[in-house]
Amino acid sequence: MLTVEQAVAAPLASCRLADGGARVIKVERKSGDFARHYDRLARGESAYFVWLNRNKESLVADIKQANDQALLHRILAKADVFIQNLAPGAAARSGLDSNELRSQYPQLITCDISGYGPTGPSSGLKAYDLLIQAESGVASITGTPDAPGRVGVSMCDIGTGLEAYGSILAALVERQRSGQGSRIQISLFDTMAEWMSVPLLAWDYSKLDWPRVGLSHPSIAPYGVYGLRGDDEILIAVQNDDEFGRLARCVVERPELGKDPRFETNPHRVENRAALDEVLRPAFASLERLEAVGKLESASIAYGFLNTVADLSQHPHLRRIEVDSPSGRLEMPAPPAVVDDRQHGTAKLPSIGQHSASIRKEFA
């Protein structure tokens, strides 16, 4: 597959395909994907680039030049997939319009990733993760009652990259049936709008303005963080009325709460959240960490702790892979899927243009 990609969304989609064994030829300008230069936090390499570009081949090419455009077309004639997330209109100006590519190469699956899609008043605008979090309403329901907030990772880019990956896999399956490729168009805005379905349905049909509740949940209670004895905190998530009954009996040791008309169903608990917390907070505040864990586990109540990134680095469930970079070997989180218990070998991160000569020779 051939990619003309930068930043996060498209590189994540192609990275997942590379993890699955696809050959990914990544086209870069002379200065490289600008994500190479976001930071120098991973042994001098960009943490973003290390995360998303393992096991790809780097081809330096100028997509505005006729000779390099011809090279890319020779590659596309043999490719299964083409992905691009250039600025609006840039692919078409460089002879990489997906409609034209599909007519020239019927077997090709094209995937165009953009901020707002190909039509509409914002289709020509650049779009970045924070902007889409704001435009799609995500920021309005994130944070505390005092102020909206940005989700701390690039969720719009990540979500769109994963949606693109899934759509490409579906198109490959469809091509086995029909023999024809597909044109995929996916935008950051559409991805986040679909992810916002629950708050949007609540507004459209009940005029409920989805609240910002920090570490709580707008429509489930109890669900959130409670202080323990000392400075510890624990998060709990009660999903149904039976679980709340067990919480009342086994953790809070107030079995009557399960029959209290203010708390006997989840809608009642949400409506009376403040009164519920007046009961739960002192009960948890009397427990030490291990004591709270023991009670919650005996009651089969889900719980967790508010870890820092430093805590994540030492977490017993964190799986890692090794990546050879131009600056040395790195460790990073492993891809989430474990297939047939296979372990990932050491991945390789390309330097800028590392494979240019061999690719140009192969597709001369």
pLDDT of residue 281: 96
Residue 344 clears pLDDT 90, i.e. is over it: no
Q: In which residue ranges of the chain is CATH 3.40.50.10540 found?
A: 2-195+318-362
Q: Which ranges of 255-306 does DSSP label H, i.e. alpha helix?
A: 266-271, 273-285, 289-298
> Hunting for tokens 């990259």 — which residue is that?
161
- Digit-coded pLDDT (tens) for 115-152: 999 999 988 888 899 999 999 999 999 999 999 999 99
pLDDT of residue 341: 86
Quick one: pLDDT band at residue 293, thresholds 50, 70, 90? very high
> Would you say 3 and 25 are in contact if contact means Cβ atoms under 8 Å apart?
yes
Quick one: pLDDT band at residue 87, thresholds 50, 70, 90? confident
Superfamily of domain 2-195+318-362: Crotonobetainyl-coa:carnitine coa-transferase; domain 1 (3.40.50.10540)
**Domain 223-305, second-level architecture:** 2-Layer Sandwich (3.30)
pLDDT of residue 39: 92
Residue 266 clears pLDDT 90, i.e. is over it: yes
Residue 7 clears pLDDT 90, i.e. is over it: yes
The pair of structure tokens assigned to 219 is 């429509």
Q: Which ranges of 94-206 does DSSP label H, i.e. alpha helix?
A: 98-104, 129-135, 155-178, 188-195, 197-206
- Rounded to two decimals, the pTM is 0.90
Amino acid at 177: R
pLDDT of residue 188: 97
Q: What percent of the chain has pLDDT over 90?
A: 88
> Would you say 221 and 269 are in contact if contact means Cβ atoms under 8 Å apart?
yes
Residue 337 clears pLDDT 90, i.e. is over it: no
Amino acid at 80: D
Mean pLDDT of 212-240: 93
Backbone angles phi, psi at 263, to 5 degrees: -125, 0
Q: In which residue ranges of the chain is CATH 3.30.1540.10 found?
A: 223-305
